[in-house]
Amino acid sequence: MPPRPSRRLFLGGLGALTLTAAARPATAAAGPPPRRLRGVWIATVDHIDWPPAPGLPEAQLRAAYDDLLDAAAAAGANAVFVQVRPTADAFWPSRYEPWSQWLTGVQGQDPGWDPMRFLVDAAHARGLAFHAWFNPYRIAQHDDPARLAAHHPARRHPEWTVSYGGRLYYDPGVPAARAFVEQAILDAVARYQVDGVHLDDYFYPYPAAGRPFPDDASFTAYGAGATDRAAWRRRNVDQLIRELRDLVRAVRPEAAFGVSPFGIWRNAATDPRGSATAAFQSYDGLYADSLGWVQDGLLDYVAPQLYWHLGHPQADYAALARWWAAQTAARDTLLWTGQAAYRAGAAGEAPAWQDPAELSRHLDLDATLPQIGGQILFSARNVRTDPIGAVARLTADHWHRPALPPLLPRLAGGTPPAAPVLTAADGTLRIAPGGPPPFRYAVHRLPQTPGDRPQLTADTLAACLPAADCARPLPLPTGRYTATALDRPGRESRPATPVQV
């Protein structure tokens, strides 16, 4: 197993700054520093990643989350996507919904502290963007309303709910239920400094074999004479996406709004606009028109879950990556691919997933498609344990080089932070903010004779550091350096006046 490259720039908080090969003084022209999303999903439902078990003391919960963040940062991540509303419950003191059972083991039981504030702050302290991940309609992993907390909204409004496949859901066809879900999500968005609002692939639930979704009552009440129930269901989901996007932008305009849909919209055999695949279709099975959302400009980004290996007979990763790249070309919706780190080395998976290089080969392909601006790994536990070294291989091949964070096209015209102020003494670089403290600094090592206006390129970029890591002097190899400041949305300042270390 290859060693995991360190991304903590200070070893134990004391060591020298580690510069990658990309940080050597440039010898040839290079393009501008790349902007890449390097994300990790942290799932809370069923204790997939965190909390590791119900009812743990606060100190143990904090330590477990810190471990996941440190593993993500060591792998090269610059963002985490944390599930904070997994089953119509909350990881914060919600005004709308009970405390999550995944925290304490008892739905509605106050843990005595504010986990979400800690989740956000701990990520930001490491320079990781925090995307709050919400599941809109799932109420419970069972179908017994009596097992919900006594004050649960689903118990107060049984007319909003349906039982299906052994689970309990809010009915997407009930307008009051949809409005409630939007307000429950917005409660967290308004109260915490989240960098994004993230929905996964669960809209209408995955079909249970031989059982239609039981929405006769809502279709009769709210279908307005529609004869195509599938189209009506898609309109319900479209309305959630559009309304929630608008609400989020009104409350937190710089937050990214996006969806991680099932990776197949439709197969080409069903619809000529679809992909060269032959598998489950989310347009028809989940009533999620992810292609329509991209075409209508409803999303800041789309992160399709491309959880198949290269050469898969029904859903080839290469075919899907190219299809999604084509759909987002010349659009303002950023494209990040969802990667199945959980499959690498797992028992029972295809031989391709027993090869530590499979994930890295996905990123090799992604690099040939300019529309793909990053990846998200599912999930954090697999990044931390990395049983066959697939994540370490991906990092060594692709994520070891520094990159700037992504910037949403709609925010590119905003006011950037002030340029930092640099001083050098005794082999160290000091970086001070030139205005309000930024979120990150991009440090560049320049050629010894940079000229009057040195060009900052991918070759000169030495590191992209959390601002908190730059509160102390940075011990650096001898060279000429400059730096830029970046705010949380990713806007970049002018470069600082270069100094010699």
Q: Distance between alpha carbon 202 and the CA centroid of its chain, in Å?
A: 16
Question: Does pLDDT of 373 surpass 50?
Answer: yes
119 and 6 housed in the same domain: no
**Residue 4: predicted pLDDT:** 35
Do residues 71 and 83 make contact, with C-beta atoms less than 8 angstroms apart? Answer: no
222 and 252 housed in the same domain: yes
274, 263, 284: which is closest to 204 by C-alpha?
284
For the four alpha carbons of 382, 386, 388 and 394, in that order, the dihedral sign comes to: positive
430 and 384 housed in the same domain: no
Total count of residues recorded for the chain: 501
pLDDT tens digit string along 72-93? 999 999 999 999 999 999 999 9
53 and 71 housed in the same domain: yes
β-bridge partners, 422? 431
432 and 292 housed in the same domain: no
Q: What is the CATH number of the domain that holds 103?
A: 3.20.20.80
What is the count of structural domains for the chain? 2
For residues 275, 279, 282, 287, the Cα torsion angle rounded to the nearest 10 degrees is 110
What is the percent of the chain where pLDDT is above 90? 91
**Amino acid residing at 233:** R
Give the helix ranges, DSSP H, for 37-174. 58-75, 101-104, 115-125, 153-156
119 and 54 housed in the same domain: yes
104 and 118 housed in the same domain: yes
**Residue 69: predicted pLDDT:** 98
Residue 143 backbone phi and psi in degrees, to 5: -125, 30
448 contact partners, CB below 8 Å, separation of at least 6: 25, 479, 480
What is the percent of the chain where pLDDT is above 70? 94
Beta strand pairing call for 196-199 and 167-170: unpaired
Give the single-character DSSP code of 150. T
Q: What is the CATH number of the domain that holds 8?
A: 2.60.40
Q: How many CA atoms lie within 13 A of 221 on its CB side?
A: 12
**Residue 331: predicted pLDDT:** 97
Q: Tell me the pLDDT band of 454, cut-offs 50, 70 and 90.
A: confident
Q: How far is CA 334 from CA 134, 199, 290, 301, 375, in A?
A: 20, 15, 13, 4, 11
Q: Which of 388, 411, 434 is the last residue of a domain?
A: 411
Query: How far apart are the C-alpha atoms of 99 and 120, rounded to whole Å?
Result: 17
Q: Which residue has the tokens 């709004």?
A: 257
86 and 207 housed in the same domain: yes
170, 165, 133: which is closest to 148 by C-alpha?
170
Q: Which of 411, 443, 472 is the last residue of a domain?
A: 411
**Residue 20: predicted pLDDT:** 47
How many C-beta neighbours within 10 Å does residue 4 have?
Answer: 17
Query: How far apart are the C-alpha atoms of 336 and 320, rounded to whole Å?
Result: 12
Does residue 6 have a cis peptide bond before it, meaning omega lies within 30 degrees of 0?
Answer: no
Q: Share the mean pLDDT of the chain.
A: 93
Q: Convert 387-404 to b/e letters by CB count within 10 Å (16 or more is b).
A: ebbbbbbbbbbbbbbbbb
Question: Does pLDDT of 457 surpass 90?
Answer: yes
272 and 288 housed in the same domain: yes
Question: Does pLDDT of 2 surpass 60?
Answer: no
Q: Tell me the pLDDT band of 30, cut-offs 50, 70 and 90.
A: confident
Question: Does pLDDT of 184 surpass 70?
Answer: yes
24 and 52 housed in the same domain: no
**Mean pLDDT over residues 287-299, rounded?**
98
β-bridge partners, 440? 466, 486
Do residues 327 and 283 make contact, with C-beta atoms less than 8 angstroms apart? Answer: no
Q: Tell me the pLDDT band of 29, cut-offs 50, 70 and 90.
A: low
230 and 105 housed in the same domain: yes
Q: Convert 288-308 to b/e letters by CB count within 10 Å (16 or more is b).
A: bbbbebbeeebbbbbbbbbbb
Sheet holding 167-170, edge to edge: 138-140, 167-170, 161-164
Give the single-character DSSP code of 44. -
The pTM assigned to this predicted structure is 0.95
Q: Which of 389, 411, 433 is the last residue of a domain?
A: 411
Query: How far apart are the C-alpha atoms of 177 and 171, rounded to whole Å?
Result: 7
127, 99, 111, 119: which is closest to 49 by C-alpha?
119
For residue 328, give its domain range. Answer: 32-411
Residue, of 10 and 398, whose pLDDT is higher: 398
**Residue 225: predicted pLDDT:** 83
353 and 427 housed in the same domain: no
